[in-house]
Structure 1
């Protein structure tokens, strides 16, 4: 059992939108007055939260008495803010009301905080100070639980369970009594989901082993009001979104599709949350190094960008997304690879890739003038020699239109696999066969590597030599044990 995990998470985050409007000329739209006894006459920054990051919003200089005033003629967006000195955060607070004053000192910043003009911040510091107080109680008990005698450990365990229950009761009561305010709703969103025990039959046996997992995922966002963009201007929304997608969802496309559509569906309640959710997911998986995650970009393009629902990208960006989608979709893991029909070095014998009989076929698209190709091609050929007796074959397609360098390299390195190219030496080539493998395989750099199974479905791509060796070794029963859960793609094979 984990004790006080929610307390520690809350404190580590806390301590350390609405439409804006303009004031009339000569009037202030917001004013944040802060007095901190013990601070020098220096420059302070007002920083706002947006998802996982903070951004400087305003600057003010304190006077010799410790007063700092931030003000402006445009209302601040509602959310969580910080007072920052240099690289040090002094304290966090919320801007819901636009005219607020804070007074404290540098010794007990939170416990001595006096707030005027903001019920939201009064509630905020009440909650934080309660958690701090209970955390101080827990520290010596935790030590006894770890270092004490057996009797002391048992007693400490009971005390922790009791305090845990008291804190949970306080959190629930705090929310219920103040849920008309945003801060209590924010605090409630930070609480861990309470998962009930799984159902059991009359004999006491669990009847649904996945009940708690499914319940947790189904109710994970229950404490977030998706119609309220202010959650986006605190750390909590990004924390929950990233955890749900990256931590609580198995990182394979089919599982991710369901989780993504689930949370995006909820985010439609607010235009700003929808925009952030779709953009973050797309950007995160577009940059992923895990093989197969390009399927997520295709899913996002197909279901959100190209449906017309995404209206924040311009026509030029949308055209690029559509072009990338068209190229990427046929090359996803699990798809039958586009066929290639090319001639050998003599430009006489033609090889139809789909008709090559192999239990595993490596499509190796390379160039003899490519520096990286020169380094890995001999290693790939060694791999071919190692596994060819098991039914492994390589379809090595050169991208050079001039065959001289290619033929020389093939001969010099004694490449005995299937060597093909689309040289224009034979003028009938284009007439006889559609030589479009560069477009079909999105060849904008070399080498390009695709591993196909016996049905010519793509099972791996952009895979490093060692990973390919490991994959084939296990596939052919030469190596034993489990391979890595996720294979990272080699960025040099792009």
Structure 2
């Protein structure tokens, strides 16, 4: 009989294990009238729907069961119709979840069955809320009415609240080391600079450098679990947007370091590489197309973006190649055009301290707004050796419309007006002229100093470039959105 029972239990064992290999979620939600809940997940900084939980009217509970376990990460239970949500943790050891809560006060009422990470996570959220209330209470007074002693006392109390939060985080990080909650809290941790000496500006600089150099000490950019949480994308984006000098060379170097590490995890690499390619393809900051070209050269041209089809690769690489000749810092492509009398004019033979190239069309609405402003600019800077070279983008018999517009427009005699009726110079290819108006600023050696400016920006940018001529560095300026979204 005993032998039979043992055999029976052994026979049941695989089925018992199978019952726990998938994922299940049971939710008892009070004060919630809708018959469905949504289960969502994080993908970078986006939230996507994973599944739907339906109410069982007999038990009044919401339930979902899946044969396969969910990938570990942070998920969201979304309530209808207002789409409020609360988060929960799914990990290898927490795939069978059961919870009860009041929809009107989730954090204050939620209870989990046998889910230590989730229980600890909501205890942490409640602790943070209490600490926030403490800090808000201390800040209720007007600091302007405080003397220095009172201000210092307030600062110490607020610092003590911060230290209590860090201590609580550290405790949970140790308790759940290697589990999702521990990894998540660790990844959210900011570097804590030591005490530095020097002037206020020196201390700020040293603290900034410390934070930048140690930003990734606790953030594993290869951990897939963090992709399914809000932390990885937000932290990486914060680093790129706030801790790197806004210069294309600096950004390219740092992005390469980050992406090279991410290559250890194809899922993460496959998310972030297109993310940054799109970010810098669409950037309104002048000069950031150099970052785009760098990413294409480093990862797409070398075959490291293994998911890209041949057609996609061809399109992406061709786009980068179109941008390459006119990156800031490069020598502008030399082109030969002609004036109204048919005389050849070579760009690199023009002897100006600064040359402004203005690609335009007579039937371009934005050009009609730009041209009077450019005339005003040239009159204001007429004592400077600045050449304004206009290049009408019309061809063959339509070139006459260019000359007519010039004749009818006041001030265009201040410009060197040129055309290329048969496109022999290939200017539209060499300068990537996809829309007009389009402006470039060149120095005496025809190096590209700035581009894709609005006419109004000339009044600020050109004097700045003249002032900084001969100095290292480059000021990054916001482009006029018209140049990006409304060019004709």
Q: Is the 8 A contact 1:44 1:61 kept in 2?
A: yes
Q: Describe the shift of the 1:207–1:377 C-alpha distance in structure 2 as closer, same or farther (beyond 3 A).
A: closer
For 1:294, the equivalent position in structure 2 comes to 289
The alignment status of 1:409 with 2:405, answered yes or no, reads: yes
Match 2:240 to one of 245, 269, 274: 245
Counterpart mapping for 1:271-282 below 5 A: 271-282=266-277
Q: 2:250 aligns with which of 232, 255, 265?
A: 255
Counterpart position of 2:32? 39
Cα displacement string for residues 463-484 of structure 1 (whole angstroms, at most 9, x for unaligned residues): 111111222345567xxxxx99
What is the root-mean-square deviation in Å for CA atoms of aligned residues? 3.0
Q: Aligned to 1:304, what secondary structure does the other structure show?
A: helix
Residue 230 of structure 2 corresponds to residue 235 of structure 1: yes
CA displacement at 1:331 relative to structure 2 = 0.5
- How far the C-alpha of 1:359 sits from its partner, in A, is 0.9
Q: Distance in 1 between matches of 2:241 and 2:97?
A: 38
> 1:264 and 2:264 equivalent?
no
Contact 1:40 / 1:66 at 8 angstroms: preserved in 2? Answer: no
Q: Measured at CA, do residues 163 and 418 of structure 1 come closer, stay the same or move farther in structure 2, by a change above 3 Å?
A: closer
Report the counterpart of residue 318 of structure 1 in structure 2: 313
Q: How does 1:6-405 map to 2 (within 5 A)?
A: 29-63=22-56, 66-85=60-79, 86-96=81-91, 97-144=94-141, 146=143, 150=147, 154-198=152-196, 210-347=205-342, 349-400=343-394, 401-402=396-397, 403-405=399-401
Q: In 1, are the aligned partners of 2:26 and 2:98 still within 8 Å (CA)?
A: yes
1:15-67, Cα deviation, whole Å (9 max, x unpaired): xxxxxxxx999998321101122322522111111111111111123245641
Q: TM-score, structure 1 length as denominator?
A: 0.84
State the 1:108 CA deviation. 4.2
Superposed CA deviations along residues 373-403 of structure 1, whole A, max 9, x for unmatched, are 3343343234334323311112222222223
**Unaligned 5+ runs, structure 1:** 1-22, 425-429, 478-482
Distance 1:184 1:468, change over 3 A: same
Preserved CA contact (<8 Å) 2:249 2:291? no
Q: Which runs of 5+ in 2 are unaligned?
A: 1-15, 468-473
SS in 2 for 1:319: helix
Q: Does the 8 Å contact 2:438/2:453 carry over to 1?
A: no
Aligned to 1:5: none
Deviations, residues 243-295 of structure 1 (Å, cap 9, x unaligned): 10011122111221222122223222311122222121111111111111111
Q: Deviations over 1:147-175 (max 9, x none)?
A: 98657655444333333323322222221
Any idea what SS the aligned residue of 2:220 has? coil
Judged with a 3 Å threshold, the aligned counterparts in structure 2 of structure 1 residues 33 and 356 are, in CA distance, closer, same or farther, namely same
In 2, distance between residues paired with 1:107 and 1:446? Answer: 55
Native 8 Å contact 1:41 1:61 kept in 2: no
State the partner residue of 1:463: 453
Deviation at 1:419, TM superposition (A): 1.9
Counterpart of 1:15 in structure 2 is none
Aligned to 2:444: 454
**Contact 1:145 1:154 (8 Å CA) reproduced:** no
Task: Kindly state the Cα deviation for residue 80 of structure 1 after the two structures are TM-superposed.
Answer: 0.9
CA offsets 1:105-138 (integer angstroms, 9 cap, x no match)? 2354223322124332133223223323333443
Q: Give the whole-Å Cα distance in 2 for the aligned partners of 1:66 and 1:252.
A: 58
Q: Do structure 1's residue 436 and structure 2's residue 426 form an aligned pair?
A: yes
Partners of 1:462 and 1:493 within 8 A in 2:
no
Relative to structure 2, which stretch is displaced further, 402-411 or 140-149? 140-149
Q: Which moved more, 1:70-79 or 1:247-256?
A: 70-79
Give me the TM-score of the superposition, normalised by structure 2. 0.85
Deviations 1:64-123 (A, max 9, x none): 564111223343232111111123324210122322111122354223322124332133
Offset of 1:435 from its aligned partner? 2.2
Equivalent pair of 1:38/1:66 in contact (CA under 8 Å)? no
Contact 2:373 2:456 in 1 (8 A): no
Where 1:444 maps in the other structure, the secondary structure is coil
SS of corresponding position for 1:409: helix
Structure 2 distance, partners of 1:171, 1:179, is 12
Q: Say which is worse superposed, 309-318 or 54-63, in terms of deviation.
A: 54-63
Secondary structure at the residue paired with 2:406? Answer: helix
Instruction: Indicate if the aligned counterparts of 1:337 and 1:457 stay in contact, CA closer than 8 A.
Output: yes
Given the superposition, is the C-alpha separation of residues 324 and 141 from structure 1 closer, same or farther in structure 2, using an over 3 Å criterion? same
Kept after mapping to 1: 8 A contact 2:74/2:89: yes
Comparing 246-255 and 148-157, the one that deviates more: 148-157
